[in-house]
Structures are given as structure tokens and as C-alpha cells.
Amino acid sequence: MASAPSASNQPCTHVRRHEDVPTPSAPPSKRCNIPSQHPESYEPNTWLQQQMEHEQQKKLAEEAKKQSVEPTGNEEEEEEVLSKPCGPHKRRFTFVMVHNITFAIPEGYDVDGTNIEYLGGGSFGNVIKTSAVCRDGLRRWIAIKKMREPFFDPHHARRIFREIKLLQLMRHDNIICALDIYTPDEENDFRDVYVVTEFAGRSLYRILKQQRDFGRRVLTEEHIKFIIYQIIRALKYIHSANIIHRDLKPGNLALTDDSDLMILDFGLARSLEKKDTTLTQYVQTRWYRSPEVIYWKIDSYTNLADMWSVGCIAAELLTGDPLFPGDDVNAQYQRITQLCGSPDEELLTKIENDNSSAMKAVIQSYKVYKRRNFREVFSAHNPPDDLIDLIERLLVLDPEKRITVEEAIQHPYLAEFSLPEDEPRADHIFDLDDHLPKTRYEWRDAVWKEIVNYTRLTSSPLIPGEADR
Ligand SMILES: Nc1ncnc2c1ncn2[C@@H]1O[C@H](COP(=O)(O)OP(=O)(O)OP(=O)(O)O)[C@@H](O)[C@H]1O
């Protein structure tokens, strides 16, 4: 096994402005300190530890000290800002408007607007970055996600339930986990759900977009390899827990300046345990969606659908552009077959047996393409041979012939980083307890219980006095 790449001599840039073009030139160093399964032994990542040393930390710590210990002479003003104790844990909140959205921020978190940054919003929530003093006394950068209309309908509510369940279950240093889950609401008026995670860096989507916008490559060959390795390392853990992520895409991957990667957003993830519910087609973002999810295994696809997404991401890292940017499902399928070829007789027979002759006929109605030579297709980017080999094994139409995560992590392309004893599996299968249909009110009750019973990690933000409860 080759050793991890050596550290660069570049000065460390700890606090980045979000709009800067990222320069993940710091060493893609292998991370060895895997947090154990026990929450009490959770370790923050090295980048955050470095941040703690940064001089801004001093400033923030001083402010925190002033707020919690010294009389400021402005107590009346503070009283006006903080709410009365509320929510299931009787915490006090400051309501701060960011990007026209009101965020309830608990006591102990930095609520100074100049330190708060809007990170983005998707269909299910809006996310801000701020900092908080944690239970271990350190101040960390954190991301607060306010769920968008969490109980709008049963589908939405179940998604929120899954996400907060998984954020508590996952313990792996390439996977985001919850530092805090709260609501400022009382049970009879429960509307808003907030999830706090560590700030995991900049989304790969933004890095790739800025590479394109500025026409300047910031991800080197070595970064690309380290990113792919970390995605696969995280998936090894996720798949071993019988979970499919189902929404792997650059926007759900965050990268620190040290090139440490975190998988974000488990809203679409689901367990493979319960076979009594059908899987849905409209799960993955289209561009990263596998052909079997688009067509022939609509309700029975497996975690190999995630491996397809890894193939799409790997090719995008190599070229800088999305591999299959289809405008609709048909165009998506067409783009896939133009590169990967149309299903062969063997796959068509499987499709017919697993589905129907009608499905086989639909597939056959598409124009037939031959699989292209990947080396030729990507030759302009001078890829290493073993990267092309890995992409070829990931982008296989028949999921039964696609490379599994266990095989992928042993692929020669990743040998430089491979360290089997540092590539943990989950120690149990995660049961999300979400298979029975529920009304949106029942899901709301289930989420309420999760918040009430949530046990914060040692490093979680803590309100003063909470430890005594
Ligand atoms: N812990 C974090 N650290 C850094 N950035 C984060 C973090 N959590 C979320 N983000 C960023 O915030 C933005 C919105 O977050 P998120 O994708 O979770 O919202 P969403 O509504 O679930 O999105 P989607 O519609 O894609 O499912 C994204 O750009 C994401 O990269």
C-alpha cells in the first residue's frame, strides 16, 4: 500500500470567504482517526481543530466569555433578543432573519449577523453557517438547516424523519452527523425542525461550477483520487448498514480545504431492510440516476444504484462537466446509452423476466447504440488508465455486473489510499422504523419524539446548565 500524499507547503487558509474560488491545495491527507460507534468518543475533524486555533477563534471565544460570564450592562437588551425558555428542552432562542428566512438559534450559538452566512437552500431546507460553543468548551463552525415545511404532507414528513434518524445513526468521518436537533415550538404548535451539523466545507457542486465559470482547474489528479476514495469509503459504511443513499451528487458532497470529504443530506436515503414497501423512481437527481432506476428496476433497485452515481461523479471530476445532463428522463436514458451502449440480449431477458415484455419493448424502442471506448472518450483529459478502468466498471448498465463498493475500494486506482483496517463497516444494520405508512400528523409525532429523546454528543452545542438535567 502506498502512503498518503505528503503535506504541501502551502499556508493553511482556515476561514474562507464562501464566494472565493476554492484552492484545495492543502494535502489530501489520509484521515486515520475513525470515531468509534459510541457517540461519546466522537472526534471533530482535523480541519475544525485547526480552525479552533485560528485567531478568529480567539475573538469568538472572547465574545462567548463576555456573553456567558461577564455582566455586559446590556442585560435588558439581551432579554429582548432571547426568547423565554421554550421548546421541549426549555431552551432560549434568538430569532434571526437570514436571506428572508427566520431562523431560531439557540443560546450558546453565535447570532451576530455579520458572522452568519447563508449556505444555500434546496427543496427541503435552508442552511446557514455560524459557530457555537460546544459541550467540550470549543467553538466550532456549524451548519444549521431549517427544514422547509417539514409536515406539509406524509411524504415530506417521512423524509424529514429519515434524515434526522440517519444523522443520529451514522458515525463515520466522511459522513455528516447531527450535533443538535431542536425546535423552538411547543408540542401542540410543533411546526419547525432544525438540524445542526458541523460545517463540512464547500459543496463539490460549487467547486466544479466555479472551475467552469473561471476556466481554472483547482482539482488536481490527486484531489480527484482522494475525493473518489472518500466517497467509496463512506459508501462502504453506508451500504454495510443496508442503507442506500439514493441522492449522491456533487451538491451533496462537501470538501474542506484539506480535501476532507463529507457526504451530506440523507433525506432520500432509505433502508433495504423492509421489502414490503416499493422503492420509487423519482429518487435520485436525474443526472446521477442509474438506468435501472429510470426503467427496469423501478421498485427493486439495490445499493448498486449509488455506485452508478459514483461513476457519474468520477467522470465529472475528471472532465469538469456533468456526464449525463439529460433534460428529461428520455434524454437522460439516451445520453447513457450513447456512452454505455444499449442493453444486450442477456440484460433484455432479465428486464423481461423482472418486469414484462411490454417493458422490454419500451427499452427496445430506443435507438440502439454500441458501448464506446471510454479511453477514447476521455482521452482529452489525460486520465490515468486505472481511473478509466474504475469508471468503466461503475458505469455498467446491468447492476448485477456493476462493481460493488467492497470491490471498488480495493480497485488499483485507489491503492494509494487503501487501508482496510481504516475503512469501517457499520456495526449493525440500521432500522429506520419508517416502513409503515403514517399520516403527516403521525410523522410529526414521530419527529417530535426524536427531538425530545435526542442525546447530544460530547462535542454538541450545549445550552448553559443543560448538562445538569
Ligand atoms: N454541514 C454542512 N456543511 C457545509 N455545507 C452544507 C452543510 N449542510 C448543507 N450544506 C449546504 O447547504 C446547501 C443546502 O443544503 P441541502 O442540500 O441539505 O438542502 P436540501 O433542501 O436538502 O437540498 P436538496 O434539494 O438538494 O435535497 C447545499 O449547498 C449544501 O452543500
Does 196 contact ligand 1 (Cβ within 6 A)? no
Tell me the whole-structure pTM to 2 decimals: 0.81
Torsion of CA 64, 18, 103, 39, to 10 degrees: -70
Which residues are bridge partners to 133 per DSSP?
Answer: 139
ipTM: 0.95
Atom 16 in ligand 1: residue holding the nearest Cα? 122
Highest mean pLDDT among 23-27, 214-218, 368-372: 368-372
* pLDDT level of residue 235 (50, 70, 90 thresholds): very high
Ligand 1 atom at minimal distance to the Cα of residue 163: 22
Match domain 85-200+431-453 to its CATH number in 3.40.50.300, 3.40.50.1000, 2.10.70.10, 3.30.200.20.
3.30.200.20
Q: What is the CA radius of gyration of the chain?
A: 23
What is the pLDDT of the chain when averaged over all its residues?
A: 80
Q: Is 165 annotated for ligand binding?
A: no
Please give the pLDDT value at position 19.
Answer: 33
Options 2.70.170.10, 1.10.510.10, 1.10.10.10, 3.40.50.970; CATH of 202-272+282-422: 1.10.510.10
> What is the Å distance from ligand 1's center to 342 Cα?
35
Q: Please, are residues 386 and 412 in contact by the beta-carbon 8 Å criterion?
A: yes
Active-site residue list: 247
DSSP secondary-structure letter at 21?
P
Question: Taking the domains of the chain in order of start, what are their residue ranges?
Answer: 85-200+431-453, 202-272+282-422
pLDDT digits (tens, 9 = 90+) for 82-136: 888 999 989 999 999 999 999 999 988 999 888 999 999 877 899 999 999 888 8
Euclidean distance between CA atoms 438 and 458, whole angstroms = 33
- Dist CA 193 CA 451 (whole Å): 9
Same fold, 85-200+431-453 and 202-272+282-422: no
- pLDDT for position 46: 35
Evaluate: CB of 128 within 6 angstroms of ligand 1: no
How far, in Å, CA of 256 to CA of 198, rounded? Answer: 11
- Ligand 1 near 123 CB (within 6 A): yes
